[in-house]
Amino acid sequence: MEESFVKTIEFIRKLYNKPEGFVALHEPTFSGNEKKYLAECIDSTFVSSVGKFVDEFEIKVANYTGAKKAVVCVNGTNALHLALTMLGVERDTEVITQPLTFIATANAIAYCGAKPVFVDVEKETLGLSPQALRAWLGQNVELKANKAYNIATGRRVSACVPMHTFGHPCKIDEIAEICNEYCIHLIEDAAESLGSFYKEKHTGTFGEIGVLSFNGNKIITTGGGGMLLFNDVDLAAKAKHLTTQAKVPHPWEFVHDEIGYNYRMPNLNAALGLAQIEQIDTFLKSKRQTAQHYNEFFAEIAGISFLNEPANAQSNYWLNCVILASKTERDAFLKYSNENGVMTRPAWTLMNKLPMFSGCTTGNLENAERIEERLVNIPSSVFDSK
Ligand SMILES: *Cc1c(COP(=O)(O)O)cnc(C)c1O
Protein backbone atom coordinates (compact mmCIF):
# COMPACT_ATOMS: atom_id res chain seq x y z
CA MET A 1 0.00 0.00 0.00
CA GLU A 2 2.91 2.32 0.74
CA GLU A 3 3.66 2.36 -2.99
CA SER A 4 0.25 3.70 -3.95
CA PHE A 5 0.64 6.46 -1.35
CA VAL A 6 4.00 7.46 -2.85
CA LYS A 7 2.55 7.51 -6.36
CA THR A 8 -0.47 9.53 -5.23
CA ILE A 9 1.60 12.23 -3.59
CA GLU A 10 3.88 12.42 -6.64
CA PHE A 11 0.82 12.76 -8.86
CA ILE A 12 -0.73 15.55 -6.77
CA ARG A 13 2.56 17.48 -6.75
CA LYS A 14 2.79 17.15 -10.52
CA LEU A 15 -0.85 18.15 -10.99
CA TYR A 16 -0.39 21.35 -8.97
CA ASN A 17 3.08 21.96 -10.39
CA LYS A 18 4.59 22.00 -6.88
CA PRO A 19 7.60 19.67 -6.80
CA GLU A 20 8.23 20.83 -3.23
CA GLY A 21 6.66 22.93 -0.50
CA PHE A 22 3.13 22.79 0.81
CA VAL A 23 0.10 21.83 -1.27
CA ALA A 24 -3.07 23.19 0.36
CA LEU A 25 -6.44 21.45 0.38
CA HIS A 26 -8.30 24.44 -1.01
CA GLU A 27 -6.96 27.94 -1.54
CA PRO A 28 -8.98 30.87 -2.86
CA THR A 29 -8.13 32.29 -6.29
CA PHE A 30 -8.26 36.06 -6.83
CA SER A 31 -7.65 36.64 -10.52
CA GLY A 32 -10.52 38.96 -11.44
CA ASN A 33 -11.84 42.35 -10.33
CA GLU A 34 -11.26 41.79 -6.60
CA LYS A 35 -8.78 44.63 -6.03
CA LYS A 36 -10.66 47.02 -8.29
CA TYR A 37 -13.99 46.54 -6.49
CA LEU A 38 -12.40 46.66 -3.04
CA ALA A 39 -10.68 49.94 -3.95
CA GLU A 40 -14.03 51.30 -5.16
CA CYS A 41 -15.56 50.50 -1.77
CA ILE A 42 -12.83 52.34 0.09
CA ASP A 43 -12.81 55.33 -2.27
CA SER A 44 -16.59 55.68 -1.95
CA THR A 45 -16.50 55.15 1.87
CA PHE A 46 -19.30 52.57 1.47
CA VAL A 47 -17.53 49.75 3.27
CA SER A 48 -20.31 48.70 5.62
CA SER A 49 -23.75 47.15 5.31
CA VAL A 50 -25.20 49.39 2.62
CA GLY A 51 -23.74 49.75 -0.84
CA LYS A 52 -24.08 48.87 -4.49
CA PHE A 53 -21.99 45.69 -4.29
CA VAL A 54 -24.47 44.12 -1.85
CA ASP A 55 -27.30 44.57 -4.37
CA GLU A 56 -25.21 43.56 -7.38
CA PHE A 57 -23.88 40.45 -5.67
CA GLU A 58 -27.38 39.34 -4.67
CA ILE A 59 -28.72 39.84 -8.19
CA LYS A 60 -25.79 38.06 -9.79
CA VAL A 61 -26.08 34.98 -7.55
CA ALA A 62 -29.88 34.88 -7.94
CA ASN A 63 -29.48 34.95 -11.72
CA TYR A 64 -26.78 32.32 -11.67
CA THR A 65 -28.70 29.88 -9.46
CA GLY A 66 -32.13 30.59 -10.90
CA ALA A 67 -33.48 31.60 -7.48
CA LYS A 68 -36.11 34.36 -7.63
CA LYS A 69 -34.28 36.31 -4.93
CA ALA A 70 -31.09 36.05 -2.90
CA VAL A 71 -30.34 37.72 0.44
CA VAL A 72 -26.79 38.05 1.78
CA CYS A 73 -25.81 37.22 5.36
CA VAL A 74 -22.68 37.55 7.49
CA ASN A 75 -21.96 33.83 7.14
CA GLY A 76 -23.56 30.54 6.17
CA THR A 77 -24.20 29.49 9.76
CA ASN A 78 -26.39 32.50 10.54
CA ALA A 79 -28.08 32.16 7.15
CA LEU A 80 -29.08 28.62 8.23
CA HIS A 81 -30.23 29.90 11.61
CA LEU A 82 -32.40 32.56 9.98
CA ALA A 83 -33.83 30.08 7.44
CA LEU A 84 -34.88 27.68 10.21
CA THR A 85 -36.36 30.49 12.31
CA MET A 86 -38.33 31.88 9.38
CA LEU A 87 -39.94 28.51 8.67
CA GLY A 88 -41.12 28.07 12.25
CA VAL A 89 -38.46 25.78 13.69
CA GLU A 90 -39.15 26.32 17.38
CA ARG A 91 -37.86 25.11 20.72
CA ASP A 92 -38.52 21.41 21.36
CA THR A 93 -39.33 20.54 17.78
CA GLU A 94 -37.21 18.09 15.78
CA VAL A 95 -35.25 18.73 12.60
CA ILE A 96 -34.07 15.90 10.38
CA THR A 97 -30.58 16.20 8.96
CA GLN A 98 -27.63 14.00 8.06
CA PRO A 99 -24.89 12.99 10.53
CA LEU A 100 -22.22 13.48 7.86
CA THR A 101 -22.07 17.27 7.67
CA PHE A 102 -20.10 20.24 8.92
CA ILE A 103 -20.99 21.30 12.48
CA ALA A 104 -22.79 24.47 11.25
CA THR A 105 -25.86 22.48 10.12
CA ALA A 106 -26.41 20.92 13.54
CA ASN A 107 -25.45 24.09 15.44
CA ALA A 108 -28.02 26.18 13.54
CA ILE A 109 -30.71 23.67 14.55
CA ALA A 110 -29.54 23.87 18.16
CA TYR A 111 -29.66 27.72 18.12
CA CYS A 112 -33.44 27.37 17.59
CA GLY A 113 -33.71 25.12 20.65
CA ALA A 114 -34.70 22.29 18.29
CA LYS A 115 -33.30 18.74 18.36
CA PRO A 116 -31.53 17.29 15.35
CA VAL A 117 -32.55 13.81 14.20
CA PHE A 118 -29.79 12.09 12.24
CA VAL A 119 -30.83 10.00 9.23
CA ASP A 120 -28.35 8.10 7.07
CA VAL A 121 -26.67 9.24 3.86
CA GLU A 122 -26.18 7.42 0.57
CA LYS A 123 -22.84 5.99 -0.47
CA GLU A 124 -23.23 7.32 -3.98
CA THR A 125 -24.13 10.96 -3.19
CA LEU A 126 -22.81 11.30 0.42
CA GLY A 127 -26.06 13.23 1.05
CA LEU A 128 -29.29 12.43 2.89
CA SER A 129 -30.77 9.17 1.62
CA PRO A 130 -34.40 9.42 0.42
CA GLN A 131 -34.93 5.72 1.26
CA ALA A 132 -33.57 6.15 4.79
CA LEU A 133 -35.67 9.30 5.22
CA ARG A 134 -38.84 7.54 4.10
CA ALA A 135 -38.08 4.54 6.31
CA TRP A 136 -37.45 6.69 9.39
CA LEU A 137 -40.59 8.77 8.86
CA GLY A 138 -42.68 5.66 8.16
CA GLN A 139 -41.59 4.03 11.41
CA ASN A 140 -41.52 7.06 13.69
CA VAL A 141 -43.86 9.78 12.53
CA GLU A 142 -47.62 10.33 12.40
CA LEU A 143 -49.50 13.17 10.74
CA LYS A 144 -52.05 15.10 12.81
CA ALA A 145 -53.85 18.10 11.26
CA ASN A 146 -51.15 18.40 8.59
CA LYS A 147 -48.30 18.38 11.06
CA ALA A 148 -45.76 15.61 11.55
CA TYR A 149 -45.11 14.28 15.07
CA ASN A 150 -42.51 11.87 16.34
CA ILE A 151 -44.65 9.17 17.99
CA ALA A 152 -42.01 8.25 20.60
CA THR A 153 -41.12 11.79 21.77
CA GLY A 154 -44.39 13.58 20.98
CA ARG A 155 -42.37 16.40 19.42
CA ARG A 156 -43.32 18.04 16.13
CA VAL A 157 -40.94 17.38 13.23
CA SER A 158 -40.63 20.92 11.92
CA ALA A 159 -38.04 20.75 9.13
CA CYS A 160 -35.56 18.70 7.14
CA VAL A 161 -32.09 19.97 6.20
CA PRO A 162 -30.25 17.81 3.66
CA MET A 163 -26.74 18.86 2.63
CA HIS A 164 -24.95 18.55 -0.73
CA THR A 165 -21.77 17.02 0.62
CA PHE A 166 -18.44 18.29 -0.77
CA GLY A 167 -20.45 19.69 -3.70
CA HIS A 168 -22.07 16.42 -4.81
CA PRO A 169 -25.83 16.91 -5.14
CA CYS A 170 -28.06 14.58 -3.12
CA LYS A 171 -31.34 13.25 -4.57
CA ILE A 172 -33.06 16.46 -3.64
CA ASP A 173 -36.17 16.04 -5.84
CA GLU A 174 -37.09 12.79 -4.07
CA ILE A 175 -36.38 14.35 -0.68
CA ALA A 176 -38.59 17.33 -1.57
CA GLU A 177 -41.43 14.97 -2.49
CA ILE A 178 -41.18 13.10 0.83
CA CYS A 179 -41.05 16.34 2.85
CA ASN A 180 -44.11 17.54 1.00
CA GLU A 181 -45.99 14.31 1.80
CA TYR A 182 -45.17 14.68 5.49
CA CYS A 183 -45.76 18.47 5.63
CA ILE A 184 -42.17 19.11 6.72
CA HIS A 185 -40.37 22.31 5.68
CA LEU A 186 -37.34 21.76 3.44
CA ILE A 187 -34.19 23.87 3.80
CA GLU A 188 -31.20 22.93 1.66
CA ASP A 189 -27.75 23.36 3.11
CA ALA A 190 -26.08 24.19 -0.19
CA ALA A 191 -23.07 25.80 1.55
CA GLU A 192 -20.68 23.55 -0.37
CA SER A 193 -22.54 23.33 -3.67
CA LEU A 194 -22.56 26.66 -5.47
CA GLY A 195 -22.16 25.60 -9.11
CA SER A 196 -23.69 22.14 -8.55
CA PHE A 197 -26.85 21.15 -10.38
CA TYR A 198 -29.27 18.26 -9.98
CA LYS A 199 -31.28 17.40 -13.09
CA GLU A 200 -30.12 20.75 -14.49
CA LYS A 201 -31.57 22.76 -11.61
CA HIS A 202 -29.21 24.51 -9.21
CA THR A 203 -28.86 23.00 -5.73
CA GLY A 204 -30.42 25.20 -3.08
CA THR A 205 -33.46 26.00 -5.24
CA PHE A 206 -35.50 22.84 -4.59
CA GLY A 207 -36.51 23.62 -1.00
CA GLU A 208 -38.31 26.63 0.42
CA ILE A 209 -34.97 28.19 1.35
CA GLY A 210 -31.43 27.31 0.24
CA VAL A 211 -28.28 28.41 2.05
CA LEU A 212 -24.86 29.20 0.55
CA SER A 213 -21.54 29.92 2.28
CA PHE A 214 -18.69 32.09 1.06
CA ASN A 215 -16.17 31.20 3.73
CA GLY A 216 -12.50 31.34 2.71
CA ASN A 217 -12.32 27.67 1.75
CA LYS A 218 -15.55 27.53 -0.30
CA ILE A 219 -15.77 27.58 -4.11
CA ILE A 220 -16.08 31.37 -4.10
CA THR A 221 -15.29 33.53 -1.10
CA THR A 222 -16.23 36.88 0.39
CA GLY A 223 -13.73 36.39 3.23
CA GLY A 224 -16.68 35.26 5.31
CA GLY A 225 -20.26 35.33 4.17
CA GLY A 226 -23.45 33.50 3.38
CA MET A 227 -26.62 33.80 1.36
CA LEU A 228 -30.24 32.71 1.45
CA LEU A 229 -31.92 31.62 -1.80
CA PHE A 230 -35.69 31.99 -2.23
CA ASN A 231 -38.34 31.15 -4.79
CA ASP A 232 -40.84 33.18 -2.77
CA VAL A 233 -40.12 36.91 -3.07
CA ASP A 234 -42.24 37.82 -0.03
CA LEU A 235 -40.26 35.44 2.14
CA ALA A 236 -37.06 36.98 0.73
CA ALA A 237 -38.26 40.48 1.62
CA LYS A 238 -38.99 39.25 5.14
CA ALA A 239 -35.45 37.81 5.35
CA LYS A 240 -33.93 41.14 4.28
CA HIS A 241 -35.97 42.86 6.99
CA LEU A 242 -34.91 40.35 9.67
CA THR A 243 -31.21 40.58 8.77
CA THR A 244 -31.45 44.38 9.20
CA GLN A 245 -32.62 44.38 12.86
CA ALA A 246 -36.24 44.43 11.56
CA LYS A 247 -35.90 48.17 11.12
CA VAL A 248 -38.87 49.86 9.49
CA PRO A 249 -37.45 52.01 6.66
CA HIS A 250 -37.59 55.69 7.57
CA PRO A 251 -35.20 58.58 6.82
CA TRP A 252 -34.49 59.23 10.53
CA GLU A 253 -36.77 57.35 12.95
CA PHE A 254 -35.68 54.16 14.69
CA VAL A 255 -38.66 51.84 14.70
CA HIS A 256 -38.25 48.06 14.75
CA ASP A 257 -41.36 45.93 14.37
CA GLU A 258 -40.09 42.54 15.63
CA ILE A 259 -36.96 40.90 17.01
CA GLY A 260 -34.45 41.05 14.19
CA TYR A 261 -30.77 40.28 13.73
CA ASN A 262 -27.67 42.07 12.59
CA TYR A 263 -26.90 39.47 9.94
CA ARG A 264 -26.09 41.81 7.04
CA MET A 265 -23.03 41.31 4.88
CA PRO A 266 -20.83 44.42 4.58
CA ASN A 267 -20.33 45.99 1.16
CA LEU A 268 -16.58 45.18 1.36
CA ASN A 269 -17.31 41.47 1.46
CA ALA A 270 -19.94 41.75 -1.26
CA ALA A 271 -17.39 43.52 -3.49
CA LEU A 272 -15.11 40.51 -3.17
CA GLY A 273 -18.10 38.22 -3.78
CA LEU A 274 -19.10 40.00 -6.98
CA ALA A 275 -15.58 39.72 -8.36
CA GLN A 276 -15.58 36.03 -7.45
CA ILE A 277 -18.98 35.08 -8.90
CA GLU A 278 -17.90 36.72 -12.18
CA GLN A 279 -15.27 33.95 -12.39
CA ILE A 280 -17.44 30.99 -11.40
CA ASP A 281 -17.41 29.36 -14.86
CA THR A 282 -13.60 29.44 -15.01
CA PHE A 283 -13.38 28.00 -11.48
CA LEU A 284 -15.82 25.21 -12.31
CA LYS A 285 -14.02 24.32 -15.51
CA SER A 286 -10.70 24.07 -13.69
CA LYS A 287 -12.23 21.94 -10.94
CA ARG A 288 -13.85 19.53 -13.40
CA GLN A 289 -10.50 19.11 -15.14
CA THR A 290 -8.80 18.35 -11.82
CA ALA A 291 -11.50 15.81 -10.99
CA GLN A 292 -11.06 14.16 -14.35
CA HIS A 293 -7.29 13.89 -13.88
CA TYR A 294 -7.85 12.35 -10.46
CA ASN A 295 -10.45 9.96 -11.83
CA GLU A 296 -8.10 8.68 -14.52
CA PHE A 297 -5.18 8.42 -12.11
CA PHE A 298 -6.99 6.55 -9.33
CA ALA A 299 -8.48 4.07 -11.80
CA GLU A 300 -4.95 2.59 -11.92
CA ILE A 301 -4.24 2.75 -8.18
CA ALA A 302 -4.96 -0.24 -6.00
CA GLY A 303 -6.81 0.37 -2.75
CA ILE A 304 -7.83 3.99 -3.35
CA SER A 305 -10.96 4.87 -5.32
CA PHE A 306 -12.04 8.27 -6.54
CA LEU A 307 -15.59 9.46 -5.95
CA ASN A 308 -17.26 10.65 -9.14
CA GLU A 309 -20.30 12.89 -9.37
CA PRO A 310 -23.60 11.01 -8.84
CA ALA A 311 -26.06 10.16 -11.62
CA ASN A 312 -28.26 13.02 -12.91
CA ALA A 313 -25.95 15.53 -11.27
CA GLN A 314 -23.35 18.04 -12.25
CA SER A 315 -21.05 18.52 -9.28
CA ASN A 316 -18.84 21.54 -8.61
CA TYR A 317 -16.19 19.09 -7.29
CA TRP A 318 -15.56 21.51 -4.44
CA LEU A 319 -13.46 19.05 -2.45
CA ASN A 320 -12.40 15.90 -4.23
CA CYS A 321 -12.90 12.67 -2.31
CA VAL A 322 -11.18 9.31 -2.30
CA ILE A 323 -12.27 6.20 -0.42
CA LEU A 324 -9.71 3.88 1.17
CA ALA A 325 -10.18 0.21 1.97
CA SER A 326 -10.32 0.54 5.76
CA LYS A 327 -9.90 2.99 8.63
CA THR A 328 -6.35 1.73 9.15
CA GLU A 329 -5.51 2.47 5.51
CA ARG A 330 -7.18 5.87 5.75
CA ASP A 331 -5.16 6.80 8.82
CA ALA A 332 -1.94 5.67 7.16
CA PHE A 333 -2.74 7.75 4.06
CA LEU A 334 -3.61 10.86 6.11
CA LYS A 335 -0.34 10.52 8.00
CA TYR A 336 1.78 9.92 4.91
CA SER A 337 0.31 12.77 2.84
CA ASN A 338 0.32 15.39 5.61
CA GLU A 339 3.85 14.47 6.70
CA ASN A 340 4.93 14.92 3.09
CA GLY A 341 3.52 18.43 2.72
CA VAL A 342 0.33 17.55 0.85
CA MET A 343 -2.72 18.52 2.82
CA THR A 344 -5.47 15.91 3.07
CA ARG A 345 -8.15 15.55 5.67
CA PRO A 346 -10.74 13.06 6.85
CA ALA A 347 -14.51 13.55 6.73
CA TRP A 348 -16.06 15.27 9.75
CA THR A 349 -16.66 13.25 12.89
CA LEU A 350 -20.32 12.24 12.64
CA MET A 351 -22.55 14.77 14.44
CA ASN A 352 -24.17 12.09 16.65
CA LYS A 353 -20.72 11.26 18.08
CA LEU A 354 -20.07 14.81 19.33
CA PRO A 355 -20.86 15.44 23.02
CA MET A 356 -23.55 18.08 22.31
CA PHE A 357 -25.51 15.82 19.98
CA SER A 358 -24.76 12.35 21.36
CA GLY A 359 -28.22 12.05 22.93
CA CYS A 360 -30.10 12.80 19.71
CA THR A 361 -32.37 10.39 17.88
CA THR A 362 -30.67 8.58 15.01
CA GLY A 363 -31.72 6.13 12.34
CA ASN A 364 -29.49 3.29 11.17
CA LEU A 365 -26.27 5.11 10.17
CA GLU A 366 -24.46 2.31 8.41
CA ASN A 367 -23.40 4.31 5.32
CA ALA A 368 -22.38 7.43 7.23
CA GLU A 369 -20.18 5.32 9.51
CA ARG A 370 -18.52 3.59 6.59
CA ILE A 371 -17.81 6.89 4.86
CA GLU A 372 -16.55 8.54 8.06
CA GLU A 373 -13.99 5.76 8.45
CA ARG A 374 -12.70 5.69 4.87
CA LEU A 375 -13.15 9.01 3.09
CA VAL A 376 -10.29 11.45 2.57
CA ASN A 377 -10.43 14.88 0.89
CA ILE A 378 -7.48 15.61 -1.39
CA PRO A 379 -6.18 18.95 -2.77
CA SER A 380 -8.81 20.64 -4.91
CA SER A 381 -7.83 24.29 -5.44
CA VAL A 382 -8.55 26.00 -8.73
CA PHE A 383 -5.47 26.41 -10.90
CA ASP A 384 -4.58 30.09 -10.90
CA SER A 385 -4.70 31.25 -14.48
CA LYS A 386 -2.48 34.27 -13.82
C1 LIG B 1 -19.29 26.03 5.28
C2 LIG B 1 -20.55 25.37 5.68
C3 LIG B 1 -21.60 26.06 6.33
C4 LIG B 1 -21.56 27.51 6.69
O5 LIG B 1 -20.38 27.92 7.18
P6 LIG B 1 -19.92 29.44 7.44
O7 LIG B 1 -18.49 29.25 7.72
O8 LIG B 1 -20.72 29.90 8.62
O9 LIG B 1 -20.18 30.27 6.25
C10 LIG B 1 -22.76 25.37 6.60
N11 LIG B 1 -22.90 24.08 6.30
C12 LIG B 1 -21.93 23.38 5.68
C13 LIG B 1 -22.18 21.97 5.33
C14 LIG B 1 -20.72 23.99 5.37
O15 LIG B 1 -19.75 23.29 4.77
**For ligand 1, mutation pick of 73, 101, 102 (most atoms within 8 Å of CB):** 102
Counting from 1 in the atom list of ligand 1, the atom nearest the Cα of 226 is: 9
Which pLDDT does position 1 carry in this prediction? Answer: 60
Q: What percent of the chain has pLDDT over 70?
A: 99
Helical ranges in the chain per DSSP H: 2-15, 34-44, 52-65, 76-86, 103-111, 130-140, 172-181, 233-243, 267-277, 280-298, 327-339, 366-374
Counting from 1 in the atom list of ligand 1, the atom nearest the Cα of 78 is: 8
Measured in angstroms, how far is the CA atom of residue 187 from the centroid of ligand 1? Answer: 14
CA atoms within 13 A on the CB side of 133: 31
Following CA atoms 240, 242, 243, 247 in sequence, which dihedral angle do they give, to the nearest 10 degrees? 90
Instruction: Determine how β-strand 226-230 pairs with β-strand 209-213.
Output: antiparallel
| Calpha distance 375→151 (Å, rounded) | 35
**Smallest CA separation from ligand 1 atom 2, residue:** 191
DSSP β-bridge partners for residue 346: 376
pLDDT band at residue 383 using 50, 70 and 90 as cut-offs: confident
Query: With 70 as the cut, is the pLDDT of residue 286 above it?
Result: yes
Residues in the chain: 386
Which pLDDT does position 49 carry in this prediction? Answer: 83
**Smallest CA separation from ligand 1 atom 6, residue:** 76
**Smallest CA separation from ligand 1 atom 9, residue:** 76
CATH of 34-277, one of 3.40.50.1110, 3.30.565.10, 3.40.640.10, 3.40.50.920: 3.40.640.10
Residue bearing the bigger pLDDT, 50 or 317: 317
Q: Which residues' Cβ are closer than 6 Å to ligand 1?
A: 75-77, 101-102, 104-105, 163, 189, 191-192, 213, 215, 226
CATH of 2-30+280-378, one of 3.90.1150.10, 3.40.50.1170, 3.30.230.10, 3.50.50.60: 3.90.1150.10
Averaged confidence pLDDT in the chain: 97
Residues of the chain with CATH 3.90.1150.10: 2-30+280-378
| Calpha distance 199→206 (Å, rounded) | 11
Tell me phi and psi for residue 159, to 5 degrees: -160, 165
Residues of the chain with CATH 3.40.640.10: 34-277
**How many Cβ atoms from other residues are within 10 Å of residue 30's Cβ?**
16
Measured in angstroms, how far is the CA atom of residue 77 from the centroid of ligand 1? Answer: 6
The model's pLDDT over 117-173, given as tens digits with 9 standing for 90+, comes to: 999 999 999 999 999 999 999 999 999 999 999 999 999 999 999 999 999 999 999
**How many Cβ atoms from other residues are within 10 Å of residue 12's Cβ?**
22
CB contact set of 293 (below 8 Å; sequence gap of 6+) = 15
The model's pLDDT over 180-204, given as tens digits with 9 standing for 90+, comes to: 999 999 999 999 999 999 999 999 9
